[in-house]
Chains A and B, each alone.
Chain A
Amino acid sequence: AQTVTQSQPEMSVQEAETVTLSCTYDTSESDYYLFWYKQPPSRQMILVIRQEAYKQQNATENRFSVNFQKAAKSFSLKISDSQLGDAAMYFCASVTQGGSEKLVFGKGTKLTVNP
């Protein structure tokens, strides 16, 4: 069974600084995808970034990048030049191959951005 663990319930960062959110996962599958979703106070779940497990290159989307360590089963999210609008709950999620594309989510990390 898949599990996703986010060990930091809350994090804070100063505006314009960089912050890294941690995520570890466990799966017996060799092929899978990993995602980070953002949930601002508006409560909508917004896709931030996606990583394919067989790709060694870390995914990047503007100020958001990941550090994917497959052997360690670690998938951290780095937010550079943090902005007030980045304040949200961040969820790490995984999906493995096998007949369903359901995402398994971690418990989330609440990010506060201080002006």
Chain B
Amino acid sequence: DSGVTQTPKHLITATGQRVTLRCSPRSGDLSVYWYQQSLDQGLQFLIQYYNGEERAKGNILERFSAQQFPDLHSELNLSSLELGDSALYFCASSKGRWGSPLHFGNGTRLTVT
């Protein structure tokens, strides 16, 4: 058990809809990262937060947004969903120090129909 909690485990929704994925980091970790894993693109970095502030942005679509709350949990919002958004979405956390390993949650499997 990595200590990172992601909910829900599975999500099935229709095109055009909006969903929210939730992540609670390991106790003591200040940084939260979101990754998207699809079959053809591998693990793609979306966004990172550190202690409530956005720290780095990757290949995150404008339809996607995220935030980290004062209690350090994070939410990833996906809107106007398309079939191509179907993927496994991982949250990871770390202490935020240079070289700290990332600890991953079990992921949320999103299926857009």
Contacts and interface: CB of A to CB of B under 8 A. Distances in A.
A100 interface: yes
Contacts of B58: 102
B94 A45 contact: no
Assign chain A's interface to a size class: 20 to 34
B25 interface: no
A45 B101 contact: no
A64 to B, nearest CB: 14
12 contacts: A43-B106, A43-B107, A44-B104, A46-B104, A47-B101, A47-B102, A50-B99, A99-B56, A101-B31, A101-B97, A102-B33, A104-B45
Contacts of B96: 101
Contacts of A97: 98
Contacts, number: 55
B107 A44 contact: yes
Nearest to B97: A101
Interface of B: 2, 31, 33, 42-43, 45, 48, 55-56, 58, 88, 90, 92, 94, 96-107
Contacts of A35: 101
A107 interface: yes
A10 to B, nearest CB: 14
Contacts of B107: 43-44
Given A102-B48, A104-B45, 12 more contacts: A43-B106, A44-B105, A44-B106, A45-B104, A46-B104, A91-B43, A95-B99, A99-B55, A101-B31, A103-B33, A103-B45, A103-B102
Given A91-B43, A95-B99, A101 B104 contact: no
A95 B55 CA distance: 15
Contact of A50 (B31, B48, B101): B101
A91 B92 CA distance: 15
Contacts of A107: 42
Contacts of A108: 42
A43 B42 contact: no
A105 interface: yes
